[in-house]
Amino acid sequence: MRIGVIGTGNMGSLIVDALVRSKATRPRFISVTNRTKQKALELAKKYRLLSVYSSPNEILQHADIVFLCVKPAEFHPLLQTLRGRWHPKQLAISITSPISVTQLESLIPCQVARVIPSIVNQSLSGSTLVTFGSSVTDVQKSKLWAILSQFSHPIEIDEENVRVASDISSCGPAFLSYLLQRMIDGAVSSTSISKKQATQLTTEMVAGLGKIFEEHIYTLEELQKKVTVKGGVTGVGLAVLEQEISDVFEKLFTETQKKFIEDRHVVNTEFNGD
């Protein structure tokens, strides 16, 4: 399969990295383009034989699967420039959550899907969130699923749950990294431990924790019970977290949903005015 990537920012580059590192495909079967061409050329330096083109139109001439990795505000103008350029057998894939597959189908005359990756896919792990358009064939679904399975655990997500699922799988690493950094800072400011050592202990703990879950040794609830001894230190710490964190994640998801609605409103305005 020839794969094209339009937009080589953080997420576009992540997809290329994951495809190559997992050996889902070889660089010579990947073509990329970016508004700032230098970013695309940097990928070509990293992966020999990867092709860099000057425009999205050229990508469509050389790809069976096309990943559209641009910001929501740039999406509609891009699709307008690509009208009449698509081949019926191509698969167009958006990685932008505010744009529904129905909206994609309104401007792209071929099979469409939405795939939301996560930064953890670079380690050939974690989930990718998949929503298929109504015209995607079983054969095309199987091909895409096979590709994504090389570097992730693809999960099919309903349109109504795409935002919260993305908050967990894609934004979650940033949220948890923030909490872990606060834990490190708290340890350093409250005790004599160095930041270097606290950081090492924290990152190694997280790496080990991931393996425990990956190997299904404990569930989240089971692990908490195993570590917590009645009347012990862990229980004291958990009591503080229960009191201080309280409904912080309810507030977090409420705010991300608000932002999602705002983004969708902008997208809807552009698509409805087409």
The binding site for NADP(+) consists of 6-11
As annotated, the binding site includes 6-11
Taking the C-alpha atoms of residue 206 and residue 126, their distance in angstroms, rounded to an integer, is 14
Counting every residue written for the chain, the total comes to: 274
Query: What is the C-alpha separation between 193 and 184, in angstroms, rounded?
Result: 10
Residue whose token pair is 């800072």? 185
On whether the CB atoms of residues 131 and 156 are closer than 8 A, the answer is yes
Which tokens is 172 given? 């979650």
C-beta atoms surrounding 104 within 10 Å:
24
List the structure tokens of 180.
Answer: 């872990």
Q: CA 27, CA 249: separation in Å to the nearest integer?
A: 40
d(CA 96, CA 193) in angstroms, rounded, equals 42
Rounded Cα–Cα distance for residues 217 and 178 (Å): 26
For residues 238 and 236, give the distance between their C-alpha atoms in angstroms, rounded to a whole number: 6
C-beta separation of 95 from 116 below 8 A: yes
